[in-house]
Structures are given as structure tokens and as C-alpha cells.
Structure 1
Amino acid sequence: MPGLLLQPLIRAVTYTRWLHLLVGAFVPLACAMVFPGLVDPSPSDWLLVAVVPLPLVLAAALVPSMRRAEGLQARLMLFPGPHARAGNDEDPGVSTAPAASWSDRARTGAWLVLRLEAGFALALVTNALLTLALTFAGAAAGEPGRVFPLARTTGTGMAYALLVPVPVLVLVLIAAGAGALMARAAPRLLGPSVKERLAALEKRTEQLLERNQIARELHDTLGHALTLAVVQAGAARTAGDPEFTDKALEAIEETGRAALEDLDRVLLVLRESGRPAAARPALDEASRLLDSARSSGARIDAEVTGPLERLPGPVSREAYRMLQEALTNVLRHAGPVRIGVRIAVEAARLRLEVRNPLPAPADPATVTGSAAGSGGGSGGGGGRGLRGIRERATLLGGEARAGRDGDDWLLHVDLPL
């Protein structure tokens, strides 16, 4: 229990909150110098001092920037620590935005009145208790005095020295309690409005979506490049032909270079360097994907109809990633087989189909594993690749279906333009 009472003495926040409250007392004391004056004031005069500045602070609350100023002071002095600095993840729940509505102005006015009255009261208590401590010290030194109405010293003696810390300790505890109450009131009166909370939620949602998008980009780009490299290296080792090995190494080099370019593009976004990142690849660059798949030994039968260069940017870019993921899944799970690719721009729709034969052995385990990798299993469940394709299609208002089609595995994507 004694430890709990003494703890406020060693906490820096006790004194920053104390100072924050005392600053609020400057306004009524300054007004009191004009009227009614501070020469031998009566209790009714002190009450008048507390009331006179109220119209002034309520008028100040109408200024939008006043809310921002009070919010910054509250963050720095009522909640000192890393969260007081802008951009830190910890948030004490105090807004630093200017008032944007009459509700914000009303809450700011209530906060200013609370800070003024609480600060004025604490200033009076501070003055009385410190004077009492000095009175005890004077009595201990042989100079009797009094502090009306708290105490009266009629004698002298060193015994009064033992009483000097008492009013100081009481004052610190009162200041700590008042500061804690102000810290609890600050989020309610200076906290973000409903509009600000919605804006913050929207910003957080956009950040999460952006991170999810970046994760997909890295998954698609690096997964495609590594899959092609593994297939090329395995084919070169199996063939044992120096000429084929040279071609495989060249294809691995080209795929790795393209993957590095995509990785640099994503890292530019993550660094937020302010430099414009290169444009993401679009579907009119699909020939690069098809050539990479051909270099791995796959036989690509491609059919492209319609003006791909006229596709809307988001549709074209997402369709490119879907085709990349589909080809990667085929090469990863079915190997360099014959792949049929059909891309068609028809009326207001974009249709994308990727077809590949399932493994020839009738072993159910083999078929299931291949199907799951290249599209999600006959049941349409699927792994992360197919799930990502479906999510991309859904975000664009389209749909993606995958499943067995005879002896083949078929991925069909239908997107509106």
C-alpha cells in the first residue's frame, strides 16, 4: 500500500499532467487581474474568477484549429511516451485533426471548460499546500505563521520539520488523481469523431488490401520464376544435351531477370520512395508468359482474339496475373505438357481458358495431387493459387471456375469489362 501511494512521486507523467492542468489556470488568473482583481479576494471573488473567462474559452472552441492544438497538448502531456509522436502505432485515442463539425466544436468547448476549471482549482490547491509546507518549515526554523483555513502554527520547534513533507505528498497525490481523471476525459472529449473513425478504418482497410495485393504480386512473380527455373533445370539435367542446357540456362536467366524487375517494382511501393514505380505488366504482354512456358518444354497452343491493348487497366493487369498463376500451376504439377490457352475479348466480357491434360497414370493419389495443384481438385476446392485467381476475379465482378473436363483440367475465367 505505501508503495502505491509513493509511486506517483517517481512517475514523469504525474508532473507533465500537473503542468498541463496548471497551464489551463493561466486564463482565469489573467482575467482576474483585470476583474475582480487579486488583492485580498473573497470566496465570492474566486468564484467570479472561475466564471468570467468561460465565454472566452467557448468562443475559442469555435476555431477549428483549437481542437488540433488541444489534442497535441493532451497527447504530449497527458500521455507522454512513444505514442505521442506522429506516425506511431500506439494511439491514446486523442484526435489531432481540426474540428470538422459542430459536434467536434461542442466537445472541444466542454474540454476547454473542464481544463480551465480543473486547472484553476488545482492551482489554488497547489498554492495553499505549498504555502502550508513553507509555513511548517518556517515554524521549524523559529518563525511561526498561519495558512487559513488549512492550519495555524502558534509555536516553533523542530517537530514542525516532520510535517513539511505531508502537504507536499498530499499535493502530489491530488495532482496525480486530477491528471488521471483528465487523461480519462481526454479520449471522450478530444477523441476522434465518427467521421474520423470511419476515415481511419477506411485507411486501415486500404493498407491491408495493399499489403494483400503486394503479397499476391510476390507470390505470383516469384512462384512463376522459381517454377520455370526448377522445370528448366530438371529438363536440362535429364536431356544431357549441351545445346539444350544452354537454352535452358538462357531461359532461366531471362525469367530471373523479369522476376527481379517485378520484385524491384514491389519494393519501390513498399519503400514509398515517391518515385513512380514501373507499370505492372498487362495482358497484352501475355506473349512473354507463353514464351517462358515454351522455353520450359511445354507445348503451348494459344488462341487470342480481340484487342487486348484496349482492355481496362485493372482488368488487363489482373488477367495477366491469373494467366501467370495458371501456367505456373500447370508446370509445377503436370510438368511441361501440352497447354491450351484461349484469350478472347467478346462484347463486354473477357474470357480466359487454360487447359492441360491430367497425368496419364490412373493412380487416384497422383491425379488428385496434380488436380489440386493446377486448379484446386476435381471438387473445385484448391490451394492458394486457385484461391488467389478466384479472389481476383471476384474483386473485378467476374468469376473463375476450375475442374476436370474429361481427361483434362480446365480453368475458365470470365470477367466483365
Structure 2
Amino acid sequence: MPAPSLILQTLLRPLARAVTYTRWLHLVIGAIVPLAGGLVYPGLSDPGPLDWLIAAVLPVPLVAAVALIPSARRAEGLQARLMLFPGKHARVRGGTAADDAAGGISASPSASWTDRGRTALWMVFRMEAGLVAWLLSIWLLQCALVLSGVSVEEPVLGSLTPLAGARALAPLPVLALLALVVAAGRLDRRVARLLLGPSVKERMAALEDRTERLLERNRIARELHDSLGHALTLAVVQAGAARAAGDPEFTDRALATIEETGRAALEDLERVLLLLRETGRRPAGASPGLDEAARLLDSARSSGARVEAEITGTLEDLPGPVSREAYRMLQEALTNALRHAGPVPVDVRVTADDTRLRLLVANPLPEGRPPAVPGSGSGLRGIRERAALLGGQATSGVKDGTWSVDVTLPLR
């Protein structure tokens, strides 16, 4: 069994939290409307149970009408976030997901009649529960005063004369009041999550936004992989070839190619970093398109590979997204050929017509080297993902000793 000290600590811990009292205050603020209405009718001088009932019921239509205003939901949501959940204003450490206001309470205007209905239920609940909490709080305080020997002329809930003189019981109403403060605040929080929580439409919008962010992160990761991977692979191949050749003229050409490729990679890196920082600045340059494929082919040739290219169709007329993604696919396919096969003959075929774009990159496998597993590697996975996002398809594999990457993208 838990130790008595642990039980006592568990019971007293809520009383040391500032948010406990802001929740109670948030609830009793709702009593202002029925109390103000009750002063007009039926009047609150020596009120009885029926008077309190009338004061609680009469403002309901007016409160429900106010809830139909779209901004009413936003105002109630902001109040609930501020007063019902731990934050910088509360002495709470290590808050959990259940205490995350932004995750449980919406602060958006009503976008549907369902939102308006839930807001109306919330505002009526807050008014009625606030009136009950206020009455019980005042009554319990009056009970404590009467038990302590202090005379109370107008008790809110009936005569307290039978309690007079029992001084030993005076702490009980105070303890009951503290328990009421804790329980009422927790109830207020739970109902707020139920009635002011995000609607289905808002949840779908949040899910779509999160999906878009994840897709953007994946796209940026592919950009970095393809661009920097191509530049580093080309630099390694060029440096190795220059050292093996021992020819100053070839070395100069290799260094020039490494310099050009490095500059292009730095531009791509700067553009991607701008996206990651979310500074709102426009990237310095647009992503390269397939109409700049000659640069990729020249870089591959300068590394010692024999590249045969056949381009059919007008690449300048390709849709922007297709042209940019196809450039990255060609870049990754050439990088794979240089990285895994070395300076072997590479056959590139690009065919564009009115309906589709086909990209085929093939190279023979070096003798004695085991073939790669079809579809393995993050680069090939990135090619397939790029093709799928554009509604196309990409395949890769070995056939008759030749490795090929075949991509088909629709243009409509």
C-alpha cells in the first residue's frame, strides 16, 4: 500500500499549482451572466431555489445566440488555452501532452454549424457550471464562518442556523471548498477539450499540413542526396583518374571539372538551406531543368566515362516540375553509374513527346563485380519516389549484363 505521506502529497499537489485556481476562476467567471440577469429578474434579494433556477435558465437563449457568431469560438478557445492549461503562467514543470493547450483546444472561428453548436453547448455549460460553482463556494465559506461562530445574515442556500456552535467542524467546509476548486477545474478542462477541441475539418487540415511538411523534408533530403552525391562522386572519380593518368593537361581538365561541379553543388546547397531555414527569402537560383542535361553529360564524360546520348523532342517545353525532377533522376542515374561501375560506356536516351517523357540510362556491369540488388539504395528509392509523385513509374535492374534505369513520366 502507498505510504500515508505519498497519499497526502498526491492530494495536496494540485493545491500548489497556480493553474488549479485559474481553472476555478475561469469557471466562476461564467456565473457573471446569470447573476447579472438575476438582478434584473427575478431579483436576488433573499433568493430561493426557484429564483436561482430562473436566473440560470433565462440567459440560455441569449448565450446560445452569441455562440452562433464565428468569432465567439475563437474567443472562448483563447480563454480556455490561457486559463485551463499549464504554461508559463503556471508553476508546473515537465508538462505532458495532455497539458498541451495548443494540441487540445482550437482557437479558430467557427467554420460550420457543428462548430457553432459545440460552442453553444460549451458556453451554456460554462454559464451553468460556473453558477453552481459560485453558489457552492459562497455557501461553503458561509458554513465555515457559521461553524466558527460568525453570524451570516443572508446565506445563499437556505438557513445555516443548525450549524452554529460546532467550532470543531469549521475546517471541514474549507477542505470541501478546496476539493471543489480542484474537481471543478478538472471538469472544466475535460469539457473544454470535448467541446472546444479541433473539428474533423481542422484535424484533416492539420494532418494535410503535417503531410506537406514531411513531403517537403523528404524532397529536400533527396535534393541534397542527389546534388551533393553527384558532386562528390564526380570529384572522387576525377581526382583518381588524374592521379592515375599522370598527365598535366588531363589534371587541369579534371580540376576545372571538379571546380565547376563544386560551384553547382554549392548553389544547390545554398538553395536547400534557404528552404530549411524558412526565412521567406527567395532562393538565389531556380532548380536546374532537363534542358540543362548537357552539363551533366559533359561532367560524366570529363570523368572518363564514354557517354552516348540521344535526345528526341524539345526539352525546353517540358512542364517545370517534370523537367526539374527528370534532371535530378538523370543526375542520380549517372552518379550511380560512375560510383558503382566506374568509367564504363553509358547509354542515355531521352524521349519527349506530347504525352510522356521517357528517360533511359544503361551501362554494362564491370567484370567480376556482383550485380546490385534491383531497387536497393536511397538514390534509386529517391528516383522511384520522384516518379511516383509525378504520376509516373521508374524501374531499375540488371538484364544481360547491363544495368539500366528506366523512367516514364506523364506530361498531362
Superposition TM-score, scaled by structure 2 size: 0.89
Q: Does the 8 Å CA contact 1:358/1:408 hold for their aligned counterparts?
A: yes
Q: Which amino acid aligns with 1:97?
A: S
2:81 to 49, 72, 75: 75
- Structure 1 residue runs without a partner (length 5+): none
Residue 98 (structure 1) aligns with: 109
Q: Does the 8 Å CA contact 1:351/1:414 hold for their aligned counterparts?
A: yes
SS in 1 for 2:185: helix
Q: Which amino acid aligns with 1:306?
A: G
2:139 to 128, 134, 137: 128
Q: Would the alpha carbon gap of residues 254 and 83 (structure 1) be closer, same or farther in structure 2, given more than 3 Å must change?
A: farther
Q: Would the alpha carbon gap of residues 120 and 144 (structure 1) be closer, same or farther in structure 2, given more than 3 Å must change?
A: closer
Q: Would the alpha carbon gap of residues 63 and 325 (structure 1) be closer, same or farther in structure 2, given more than 3 Å must change?
A: same
Q: Map of 1:13-412 to 2, 5 A cutoff?
A: 13-81=19-87, 91-136=102-147, 139=149, 148-150=158-160, 152=162, 154-155=164-165, 160=167, 163-277=169-283, 278-359=285-366, 361=367, 363=368, 366-368=369-371, 372=372, 377=373, 380-412=374-406
- Aligned counterparts of 1:67 and 1:60: Cα–Cα separation in 2: 10
- Aligned counterparts of 1:149 and 1:253: Cα–Cα separation in 2: 94
Runs of 4+ in 1 over 6 A off after TM superposition: none
- Aligned counterparts of 1:178 and 1:172: Cα–Cα separation in 2: 10
- CA drift of 1:83 comes to 12
- CA drift of 1:151 comes to 6.2
- Aligned counterparts of 1:90 and 1:106: Cα–Cα separation in 2: 21
Residue 416 (structure 1) aligns with: 410
- Aligned counterparts of 1:237 and 1:224: Cα–Cα separation in 2: 20
- CA drift of 1:244 comes to 2.8
SS in 2 for 1:367: coil
Q: Does the 8 Å CA contact 1:5/1:173 hold for their aligned counterparts?
A: no
Q: Does the 8 Å CA contact 1:302/1:341 hold for their aligned counterparts?
A: yes
Structure 1, 113-122 or 281-290: larger mean CA deviation: 281-290
Residue 96 (structure 2) aligns with: none
Q: Does the 8 Å CA contact 1:8/1:173 hold for their aligned counterparts?
A: no
- Aligned counterparts of 1:352 and 1:144: Cα–Cα separation in 2: 94
> Aligned-pair RMSD on alpha carbons?
2.3
- Aligned counterparts of 1:244 and 1:318: Cα–Cα separation in 2: 32
Q: Does the 8 Å CA contact 1:83/1:91 hold for their aligned counterparts?
A: no
SS in 2 for 1:415: strand
- CA drift of 1:248 comes to 2.2
Q: Does the 8 Å CA contact 2:146/2:164 hold for their aligned counterparts?
A: no
Q: Would the alpha carbon gap of residues 149 and 367 (structure 1) be closer, same or farther in structure 2, given more than 3 Å must change?
A: same
- Aligned counterparts of 2:82 and 2:211: Cα–Cα separation in 1: 28
Q: Which amino acid aligns with 2:332?
A: E
CA deviations 1:17-70 (Å, max 9, x no partner) are 101101111111111121122211122111111111111101101101101111
SS in 2 for 1:381: coil
SS in 1 for 2:279: coil
Q: Does the 8 Å CA contact 1:83/1:89 hold for their aligned counterparts?
A: no
- CA drift of 1:124 comes to 0.7
- Aligned counterparts of 2:133 and 2:304: Cα–Cα separation in 1: 83
CA deviations 1:224-250 (Å, max 9, x no partner) are 111112112222222233333333222
- CA drift of 1:153 comes to 5.4
Q: Which amino acid aligns with 1:45?
A: D
- Structure 2 residue runs without a partner (length 5+): 1-6, 91-98
Q: Would the alpha carbon gap of residues 325 and 185 (structure 1) be closer, same or farther in structure 2, given more than 3 Å must change?
A: same
